[in-house]
Chains A and B, each alone.
Chain A
Amino acid sequence: MAVETVQIALAVNGRERRLRVRTDQRLLDVLREDLRLTGAKEGCGKGECGACTVIVDGDSVDSCLMLGVEADGAAITTVEGLASGDRLDPLQEAFLETGAAQCGFCIPGQIVSARALLDDVPHPTRTQIEEGLAGNLCRCAGYEQIMEAVELAAARHGAAEPAPHPRAVTTDVASTPDAKVAPQ
């Protein structure tokens, strides 16, 4: 059965992308298959594990639960967009330092969720970090080192960093989607 396709435009990691997507295509597939940004992972495919987390217009989102067409006009940050050049995001540095990345499969999602958290709450309490990352499963269960990494990054840079993520993209074909994006 032929599936309808739609032209969309999004800003991914600051770069404007225009592409034709199937209407049933998940944002995760658009990123991984069409844009070859494989940092977001597919774990459960049901919005429970958080491995596919990306930031959409400032909110952390399970990209397996969002359609590509819903992201039309949105600004999206994936793990690939956190470092600028060879300068890592403070969270990436902190994750390396505390040894938070073990097998690494959940780590892009953890770091992106943590980025969204710190953008909203630059100096979170331990409880806020635990709650902020509750939607990101880690089966290596390196949670202690993950929590420490977020605390470390917050202590070092949380206050100094400006909010880095644009909240909209200007384009002639795009409009902000109506669909409510569920933050984690």
Chain B
Amino acid sequence: MSDVVGTRAPRVGGLDRVTGRQAYVADIPLDDVLHVKLVTLPVARARIGAIDDAAACAVPGVRLVMSARDLPSPMPRFGPQRRDRPVIATGEAKYHGDPVAAVAAETKDAAEEAAALVKVAYEELPPAFTIETALATDAPLVQDPSLRPDDPHANTNVLHEHRHVWGDIEAAEREPGLVVVEGSYQFPMVTQFAIEPHAFMAAPDGAGIAIWSAIQHPNWLQRVIAELLKLPLSKVRVHAPDPGGAFGGKQHAKYEPLLAFMALATGRPVRLVLTLEETFQAVRRGAAQVHVRTGFHPDGALVFRDVEANYQIGAYADIADRTVAKGSYTSMGPYVCPSARIVARSVLSHTVPSTAFRGFGNPQQIWAVESNMNEAARVLRIDPLELRLKNLAKPGDAFIPGDTPADGDWAVAVRRAAEMIDWGSTTPPGRGRGIAVGLKSGPTTGLSYSTVRLLVDGSVVVYAGTSDMGQGARTIFAQIAADELGAPIEWVTVVSGDTAVVPYDQQTSASRSSVFMGNAVLRACRDIQAKVRAMAADLEGIDEAGITVERGQVRIDDRTIPIADVVKRGLGRLGGEIIGIGEMRKDAEPDHPLGGTAAFYEFNCTAVEVEVDRETGDISIPKYVTVSDVGKALNPNQVRGQDEGAAVMGLGHTLMEHYIWDDAGRIRNLGAIDYRIPTSMDLPADMDSDIVENEDGPGPYGSKGMSEGALLPVSPAVAAAVTDATGAVIRDLPMSPERVWQALQELESAEPAS
């Protein structure tokens, strides 16, 4: 009997990753391929005039220069929330990097040379590239109101205003003796910066088209391409090799539609591998300004919280408005707060379209509300740990009215983190400690199918459409199948990344795959078990009632037989296989503000100890602790990689990452030289991660989704530690040395001279 669930089973695909054999999109050769280069304008916003491609077309090897005039009219548009994004810019370029033309040529060099020779006449227009300018009454409109019929905000840059309200906040505010703590917090624009730049290919394929993309949602992409090209789904084949990092930035279609049209126009395969600079102009996280006002009883009990947030999304909606809806919805955190008012706006701007990025709208909000909790603790003179424990929802508490009750014993994680950082002990001189928690609502809907084939020799093939982008999804599915069907894990193959072969999966996002696809795989295995049971009954000539099949074994009375033995006998001389199918579905709930309740919550508590260099403002982290409630760690080694990775990624936007814009709305720090992400030199001196496993999740064996949780509370935990160390309260990210130094200077000058 195999027993690999819960162990540190080696990563499926690991060998290919360490030997260099893993083929990412850019590693896949296509015969006769044309290379594509995008043409962009050096401005934030412009009216596009005539496009002269004569010089470009004269470059030897150039086969196509495509711009809006070569595409159907009206311009085909797409987008996961609104069909607002044109296949290529038409009429107006709306952000620095918005492609206005694309060249396809026999070589990459020819494509690059020709792209530089495409002459685009344009008139620069005033952009709105900050929240303030986008919300001004005379702001230039980012989207044409005609694209937003029946939308009351159509004549503004507010794409959507989300309101989540419960309790009676006005009555609550009038309660006597409340302590009200208030502040505004700013979260910067940051980019996903997957080390693999986005790569796309498209090729005519029979009567349809084949697409290759480092995409998280192959089936969603298939639908987008089918709609744009007016093809049946079965004629769009999406190949989705493992993405080299995605983090949400590879969820939705970007340039695949353009490539599809170029492949059809040339009758040739086409290929576009972005530069890192171009990825900065393709995906980012929404910036946010969040104002929080919270009322407490003097004993620390939450009475109300009033949150107003403006999220700066880009020129097209992508999935950004959903990040605002979902990220703001959990603004009460994991606490029981009797009265809540949340207003969150998606503000369009002439900037790179923001999209999903690990945490999905929550890190911005959590930065604000958890910092507010830490400030409140100081005002109330209550230990920040105690303040949290006092307000934390207990298992089963309906802490968000009408939503899934608290599905974890979150205080366990909080106490564990406190213990690990030695909370309450004297901090070494010059250092400070901080703590924060993060909660995220999991998927609100979902649909995953899996097919599992148990072959005649007892080996197994699992088909699961999750994109394995580093989280290790295939390992998890292989572990489940190995245990359920009694195969050694080395005998399990997991097939993903091809919509012509693998059954439908809605998406790889929201830390869902272990739960949704995991359950689909589990059910497919159980389907096989049921067939094996019938087979065994047939072979033995007894009733099925006397037979049980579980965890790789067939039990008949007091006999235990491996599944593989029964199957070999049962399949007989013709051989063959047993096919199981499994499905996990969570339907939409139309009356719910998010369209559905949370399948689970992700919860994490982070505690840090920092040291601040008063001369330079540099923050170093002697000790870092992160504890996630994961229900059940199906693979503790992978859980650790996800949690520690999320923590270090969170240190990026906390300490160093942000886009820098010039006065004209152009990005000044494109690429790795001027935009810093954490390296091996930026790690906490001591990093410790732990998990809470109460087997109380909806996934296989009590698991919950995880992978985003550990990123959620990084910033407020670090900021609280900086305050503890120095007294400086910082409400803007990143806490770069200059910002910290500035805060220390202000603090010094504010202190009365003695």
Same complex for A and B? Answer yes
B243 part of interface (Cβ distance < 8 Å): yes
Number of chain A interface residues as a range: 35 or more
Q: Do A137 and B195 touch (CB < 8 A)?
A: yes
Q: How far is the CB of A79 from chain B (nearest CB, A)?
A: 4
Would you give the 0/1 interface string for B305-340, flagging 1 where the beta carbon is closer than 8 Å to chain A? 000000000000000000000000000000000000
Query: Which of B21-29, B130-138, B167-175, B257-265 contacts its partner?
Result: B21-29
B81 part of interface (Cβ distance < 8 Å): no
Residues on B with C-beta less than 8 A from A129 are 680
CA distance A98 to B29 in the complex (A): 32
Q: Write the chain A residue with the least CB distance to B636.
A: A99
> Which listed residue, B8, B22, B276, touches A44 by the CB 8 Å rule?
B276
Query: Which of B146-154, B286-294, B644-652 contacts its partner?
Result: B644-652
Residues on A with C-beta less than 8 A from B647 are 141
Residues on A with C-beta less than 8 A from B13 are 104
A134 part of interface (Cβ distance < 8 Å): yes
Q: Do B245 and A139 touch (CB < 8 A)?
A: yes
Q: Do B11 and A96 touch (CB < 8 A)?
A: yes
Q: Write the chain A residue with the least CB distance to B243.
A: A103
Query: Which residues in chain A, 100-159, are within 8 Å of chain B measured between CB atoms?
Result: 100-108, 111, 129-131, 133-147
Q: Do B681 and A134 touch (CB < 8 A)?
A: yes
Would you give the 0/1 interface string for B178-199, flagging 1 where the beta carbon is closer than 8 Å to chain A? 0000000000000011111100
B284 part of interface (Cβ distance < 8 Å): no
> Which listed residue, B16, B276, B641, B648, touches A99 by the CB 8 Å rule?
B641
CA distance A33 to B683 in the complex (A): 35
CA distance A111 to B15 in the complex (A): 13
Q: How far is the CB of A22 from chain B (nearest CB, A)?
A: 8
Q: Do B672 and A46 touch (CB < 8 A)?
A: yes
A83 part of interface (Cβ distance < 8 Å): yes
> Which listed residue, A49, A99, A102, A145, touches B672 by the CB 8 Å rule?
A49
Given contacts A42-B26, A88-B18, A105-B195, contact A141 B649 (CB under 8 A): yes
Q: How far is the CB of B739 from chain A (nearest CB, A)?
A: 22
Q: Do A141 and B672 touch (CB < 8 A)?
A: no
Q: Do A130 and B196 touch (CB < 8 A)?
A: no
Would you give the 0/1 interface string for B467-482, flagging 1 where the beta carbon is closer than 8 Å to chain A? 0011110000000000
A73 part of interface (Cβ distance < 8 Å): no
B737 part of interface (Cβ distance < 8 Å): no
CA distance A44 to B675 in the complex (A): 11
Q: Do B18 and A111 touch (CB < 8 A)?
A: yes
> Which listed residue, A36, A39, A44, A99, touches B11 by the CB 8 Å rule?
A99
Q: Do B640 and A99 touch (CB < 8 A)?
A: yes
Interface size on B, residues (CB 8 A): 60
A63 part of interface (Cβ distance < 8 Å): no
Would you give the 0/1 interface string for B1-26, flagging 1 where the beta carbon is closer than 8 Å to chain A? 00000001011011111111111101
CA distance A144 to B682 in the complex (A): 11
B693 part of interface (Cβ distance < 8 Å): no
Residues on B with C-beta less than 8 A from A44 are 276, 671-673
Residues on B with C-beta less than 8 A from A100 are 641
CA distance A157 to B642 in the complex (A): 28
Q: Do B195 and A101 touch (CB < 8 A)?
A: no
Residues on A with C-beta less than 8 A from B705 are none
CA distance A143 to B680 in the complex (A): 6
B48 part of interface (Cβ distance < 8 Å): no
Q: Write the chain B residue with the least CB distance to A141.
A: B648
B78 part of interface (Cβ distance < 8 Å): no
Q: How far is the CB of A108 from chain B (nearest CB, A)?
A: 5
CA distance A137 to B245 in the complex (A): 12
Q: Do B21 and A39 touch (CB < 8 A)?
A: yes
Q: Do A130 and B680 touch (CB < 8 A)?
A: yes
CA distance A44 to B277 in the complex (A): 8
B residues lining the A interface (CB < 8 Å): 8, 10-11, 13-24, 26-27, 29, 109, 113, 192-197, 242-247, 273, 275-276, 469-472, 637-638, 640-642, 644-649, 671-673, 677-681, 683, 687
Known: A44-B276, A88-B18, A147-B683. 5 other contacts (CB 8 A): A41-B27, A43-B276, A98-B637, A130-B683, A139-B194
Nearest 8 CB-CB pairings of A with B: A39-B20, A105-B244, A103-B470, A104-B17, A48-B672, A141-B648, A102-B470, A79-B20
A residues lining the B interface (CB < 8 Å): 1, 3, 32, 36-46, 48-49, 51, 78-80, 82-83, 88, 92, 95-108, 111, 129-131, 133-147
A sample of 30 inter-chain contacts (CB < 8 A) reads A37-B20, A38-B23, A38-B27, A39-B20, A40-B20, A41-B244, A49-B195, A97-B10, A98-B637, A99-B638, A102-B245, A102-B470, A102-B645, A104-B16, A104-B17, A104-B22, A104-B244, A105-B195, A105-B245, A107-B18, A108-B18, A130-B680, A131-B680, A134-B680, A137-B672, A137-B677, A137-B679, A139-B247, A141-B647, A144-B644
